[in-house]
Structure 1
Amino acid sequence: MTAHFDLAALDMLVAVAETGGFTAASARLGRTQSAISVRIQDLESQIGHRLLERSRRGVTPTDAGERLIAHARRLLAIEREALADLGGASASGRLRIGIPDDYMDAYLRPLIARFAAEHPKVELELRCDLSKRIEPALAAGEFDLAVVTQDPNRPIGEVLRREAMIWVAGRGHRPELQEVLPLALFSEGCRARPRILQALGAAGKAHRLVFSCSHTSGMLSAVEAGFCVTALTESAIPPSLRRLGPADDLPALFDLSVGLIIGPQPGLAARRFADALRDEMAAPRLAA
């Protein structure tokens, strides 16, 4: 193994992993697909491990690839810091972010103030929406980066975190004891909604939809009022709710993959926000 890594090749590897393929990485970096492929093959020869696997779902890192990508991000971040320090570069301009509002509360709220203090020349513009609407909006150039719940049948972007879905009800209320479970769900188009209904159906659990809403605040208000239960990602559960599960005659649920999608040719502000977001979402969360 040679003594030094090619940082440009590492940047290409990270871009392929984050965008899910060589075509999107080529657009982001302004390099040909063949050039990116050759540089990554050189990395594979250098370390003696295959780094990427190709399938009908796209390109995904191998175990060795995941490990190298984690190191690569740190090395590239140090390089950017050095260039910024010596060259006086600072992030500026407008940064447009799309995100579902439950992730906004869980992850961006603690991050925004810190990022704004560190990058005072950046104007943050956030729009909360369903993941299935955010993805095409980013592809159309309406966002610079986005956080989404990945479609399990067609995952797009870099996996930031996997979130367990948990049944919840209001403290001091027992709606789960009703013979027909009163259920609150996010509006149609939510990627978790059909999977929740499928889990209830597979378990033969009688249920009826009593409340539907497109925003987390409305959902929390309904559940806290005590007349229904819902399922939330673990990080979105506030102290005002209590957790339910198989002991309450409710079926086990699933994990959601939270993905980061970065637009082609991201600016310095987008790259720095993405790094800060990776750090924030990698941090462990305390149970409510």
Structure 2
Amino acid sequence: MRKVGERMETRYFQTLVKVCETGSFSKAAESLHITQSAVSQRIKFLEENYGHQLFDRSGTQLEPTGAGLLVLEKAREILAKERELVDRLSSFKGEKRLSICCTPTFGMAYLPRILSDFVLRNADVHDLKFIFKQPAEAIVGVQNKEYDLAVIEYCDGIPPESFVVYPLPDDELVFISAPSMDLPETPMEIERLLEFPIYARRDGCSSRNLLRQNLANLGHDINDFKRVVISDDLRLCIGSALDGCGISFVSRSLVRGYLLDHRLRAHYVKDFTHVRSRAAFHLAARSEDPLISNFIASLQSLFSDRGRRHTDGLALP
């Protein structure tokens, strides 16, 4: 048993509350955008920490035990105090702070230009933080007030109704290869690309989700490629394609410069969906925050007609 009083993160309490509300590990996992295994591990942590079983698992639906009801009551109180603390801290006028979460693709392709424009508009910002996360993690982070604002690419929507969502232009994804691989630039059948190794993102990335959905629609899965290399590093995926080691499925915005100088080729697949959605969002309660409004203005300026002309030559350094 863990020592009672050992430090724990409030996400364990958030998970407990969600399991009680849904009566199911799987439904709680879906609501929190995490795996069922992660939910189970968090509940197990709480049970070991307090030395009591918190749920009766004998029925078709999970029911809190007497000890579970007590922990649930206190968990809700702690989460309410945490929300109160965050809200009160955000009301301080002396120092302006903003925490922004975005996907690695968006951050690497566009963040430097947005940051430059935003800082010019807000020279008095004291603390500005940017965190790279995958879409599901960004959604949960904004829900839990870990981040003030998020910008993501996604395939399956932004579900919570409490968000204010700002749609942005869709993101186009392409397969990329080195010219030395001599792949045609005309749309091709997926079987032609299956002959090569693919450098792919890990699960949770929307580009990986889009790739998986497309392959399934054509009767394939990712393991049908000659070899699969999974990496959380976009630079590795793109660098491997540049070196002729294989192909990758990435945002065109990341490699536009390499395509313009012919160091890479872009490839489209017949019957593939090559676009995913992109949006910025924040909690509705933050709609009057001037820093958030100014960041959205910088974002929209970037994607205006004039802004797009200035980003056409972007490539990874």
TM-score of the pair, normalised by structure 2: 0.55
1:243 deviation in Å?
0.6
**Higher alpha-carbon Rg:** 2
Partners of 2:175 and 2:249 within 8 A in 1: yes
Partners of 1:183 and 1:207 within 8 A in 2: yes
The amino acid of 1:286's aligned partner reads D
The amino acid of 2:178's aligned partner reads G
1:219 deviation in Å?
1.9
- 1-side partners of 2:233 and 2:124: how far apart? 30
How many pairs align? 196
- 2-side partners of 1:144 and 1:202: how far apart? 37
Of the candidates 250, 257, 272, which is equivalent to residue 294 of structure 2? Answer: 272
The amino acid of 2:297's aligned partner reads D
Partners of 1:175 and 1:182 within 8 A in 2: no
Change (3 A) 1:126 1:209: farther
Secondary structure at 2:110 match in 1: helix
Partners of 1:210 and 1:228 within 8 A in 2: no
Change (3 A) 1:171 1:227: same
1:236 deviation in Å?
1.8
The amino acid of 1:135's aligned partner reads I
1:154 deviation in Å?
4.8
Of the candidates 149, 152, 167, which is equivalent to residue 148 of structure 1? Answer: 152
RMSD of equivalent CA atoms: 2.8
Deviations 1:183-224 (A, max 9, x none): 121111112313313323433564245221223222222222
Q: Percent identity?
A: 16
- 2-side partners of 1:124 and 1:153: how far apart? 27
Aligned residue number for residue 185 of structure 1? 200
Of the candidates 134, 146, 150, which is equivalent to residue 138 of structure 2? Answer: 134
1:92 deviation in Å?
5.6
Change (3 A) 1:175 1:225: farther
Of the candidates 79, 82, 98, which is equivalent to residue 101 of structure 2? Answer: 98
Are residues 1:165 and 2:188 paired?
no
Of the candidates 232, 237, 261, which is equivalent to residue 281 of structure 2? Answer: 261
- 1-side partners of 2:133 and 2:202: how far apart? 11
Secondary structure at 1:192 match in 2: helix
Secondary structure at 1:183 match in 2: strand
Aligned residue number for residue 249 of structure 2? 231
Secondary structure at 1:159 match in 2: strand
Deviations 1:221-255 (A, max 9, x none): 22222112111222222414211124xxx653331
- 2-side partners of 1:127 and 1:192: how far apart? 19
Change (3 A) 1:280 1:139: same
Of the candidates 257, 263, 268, which is equivalent to residue 245 of structure 1? Answer: 268
Secondary structure at 2:246 match in 1: coil
Secondary structure at 1:226 match in 2: coil
Change (3 A) 1:174 1:227: farther
Are residues 1:116 and 2:131 paired?
no
Change (3 A) 1:163 1:91: farther
Aligned residue number for residue 199 of structure 1? 214
- 2-side partners of 1:236 and 1:155: how far apart? 27
| Unaligned ranges ≥5, structure 1 | 1-89
Change (3 A) 1:194 1:154: same
Partners of 1:211 and 1:222 within 8 A in 2: no
- 1-side partners of 2:104 and 2:157: how far apart? 23
1:256 deviation in Å?
0.7
- 2-side partners of 1:148 and 1:178: how far apart? 28
Partners of 1:170 and 1:241 within 8 A in 2: yes
- 1-side partners of 2:109 and 2:194: how far apart? 33
Change (3 A) 1:181 1:139: same
Change (3 A) 1:243 1:119: same
1:179 deviation in Å?
6.0
- 2-side partners of 1:198 and 1:113: how far apart? 36
Deviations 1:50-98 (A, max 9, x none): xxxxxxxxxxxxxxxxxxxxxxxxxxxxxxxxxxxxxxxx996111000
- 2-side partners of 1:197 and 1:287: how far apart? 29
Mean CA deviation greater in 250-259 or 167-176:
167-176
- 1-side partners of 2:273 and 2:176: how far apart? 12
Secondary structure at 1:120 match in 2: coil
Change (3 A) 1:212 1:94: same
Change (3 A) 1:107 1:178: closer
